[in-house]
């Protein structure tokens, strides 16, 4: 049963799945409490043109992809706020228009780059093809993201529960909001190469949704979501080998399956109790 992990390729994939699953799982607790999965979906798609343009300008590399993706996310975020203020159209609508436009632009730029820049790997990821530098970068960003969210968890939770009460208690809520979203962007960018910009959203939303029916405090939600994210991603990778399916798709499908099982278990548990 442990045959796939005898292979170097899968060992590397397993390490990546555990790291990326853990980081995304931890961040998913914030996304669930903030109720922002749709905003993140938009954000993850808008990273693509940043990566494409950076590749076009300086060639494909971890750092250039990272910088391009972050720039695109910031640009789309700022444009959304500005257009929402100017047009009185709500920011969800503007974000939807901008992200589909950005996503389309990204596909067009990538298709111009030729066959050596594999479009599928950016859309659907390639967790088995991550380099040492990719893994180190994921690990570094993961430590920073989890450490910051952990250190400021009290502020984060009060702010998510009631921002005005948080402000009255002396919490700098606007700064906290910007910092939290900056962390989510970092997490998304490091996930991009592993599972692609479409499937990344599953990783950063599903783990907390799986845990949520069984917990009653935010303090439990964060660490348990991280463990479920890591475990679910490793399970997805394992299944991908045995079912001969793409790894990224298998991870996202496994997390979705675990979510349905969690909801069913909760329903059964409620009937019994």
Partner 1 sequence: MSHDHHQLDLANVRYQYGNKEALSDVSLSTHCGQRLALLGPNGAGKTTLIRLLAGLLDPQDGTLNWREQPLATFRKEIAYLPQADHHQRHFPIRVRDVVAMGRFPHIGNLKRFKKIDKEKTEEAIAIMNLGDIANRQIDQLSGGQQQRTFIARALAQEAHVLLLDEPFNGLDIESRCHLSDSLFDLSKSGHLIIASHHQLESVTEIFTHALVLDQKQIAFGPASEVMTSDVVKHTLHSCHPHLHDRAL
Rule CB under 8 A: is residue 154 a binding residue for partner 1? yes
Tell me the closest approach of the beta carbon of residue 157 to partner 1, in angstroms. Answer: 8
Binding-site member from 16, 158, 230, 235 for partner 1 (CB under 8 A): 158
Rule CB under 8 A: is residue 88 a binding residue for partner 1? no
Binding-site member from 41, 44, 64, 155 for partner 1 (CB under 8 A): 155
Computed from CA positions of residues 82, 86, 90, 92, in that sequence, does the dihedral angle turn out positive or negative? negative
Q: Taking the CB of residue 169, how many other CB atoms lie within 10 A of it?
A: 13
Write out the E strands in the chain.
none
Rule CB under 8 A: is residue 212 a binding residue for partner 1? yes
Rule CB under 8 A: is residue 170 a binding residue for partner 1? yes
Binding-site member from 167, 227, 239, 256 for partner 1 (CB under 8 A): 167
Q: Environment class of residue 175 by beta-carbon count within 10 Å: exposed (0-12), middle (13-18) or buried (19+)?
A: exposed
Tell me which H or E stretch contains 222.
Answer: helix 218-243
Q: Which is nearer to partner 1, 120 or 162 (CB)?
A: 162
Which residues, including other chains, have CB under 8 Å from residue 91's CB and lie 6 or more apart? 80, 81, 84
**Rounded-to-integer distance, Cα 247 and Cα 186, Å:** 22
Q: Which is nearer to partner 1, 63 or 143 (CB)?
A: 143
Binding-site member from 160, 185, 186, 251 for partner 1 (CB under 8 A): 160
Residues that bind partner 1 (CB under 8 A): 33, 35, 151-155, 157-158, 160-162, 164-165, 167-171, 212, 215-219, 221
């Amino acid at each position: 049963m442990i045959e796939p992990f005898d292979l170097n390729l899968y060992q590397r994939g397993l390490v990546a799945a555990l790291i990326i699953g853990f980081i995304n799982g931890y961040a998913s607790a914030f996304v669930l409490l903030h109720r922002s999965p749709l905003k993140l979906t938009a954000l993850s798609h808008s990273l693509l043109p940043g990566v494409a343009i950076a590749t076009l300008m300086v060639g494909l590399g971890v750092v250039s992809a990272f910088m391009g993706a972050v720039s695109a996310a910031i640009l789309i975020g700022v444009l959304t706020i500005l257009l929402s203020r100017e047009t009185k159209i709500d920011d969800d609508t503007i974000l939807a228009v901008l992200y589909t436009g950005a996503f389309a632009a990204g596909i067009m730029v990538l298709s111009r780059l030729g066959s050596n820049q594999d479009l599928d790997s950016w859309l659907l990821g390639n967790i088995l093809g991550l380099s040492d530098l990719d893994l180190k970068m994921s690990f570094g960003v993961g430590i920073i993201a989890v450490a910051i969210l952990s250190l400021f968890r009290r502020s984060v939770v009060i702010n998510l529960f009631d921002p005005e009460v948080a402000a009255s208690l002396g919490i700098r809520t606007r700064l906290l909001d910007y910092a939290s979203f900056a962390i989510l962007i970092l997490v998304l960018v490091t996930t991009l190469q592993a599972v692609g910009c479409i499937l990344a959203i599953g990783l950063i939303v599903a783990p907390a949704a799986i845990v949520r029916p069984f917990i009653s405090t935010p303090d439990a939600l964060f660490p348990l979501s991280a463990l479920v994210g890591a475990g679910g991603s490793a399970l997805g990778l394992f299944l991908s080998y045995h079912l001969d399916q793409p790894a990224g798709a298998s991870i996202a499908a496994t997390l979705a399956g675990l979510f349905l099982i969690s909801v069913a278990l909760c329903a059964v548990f409620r009937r019994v109790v």
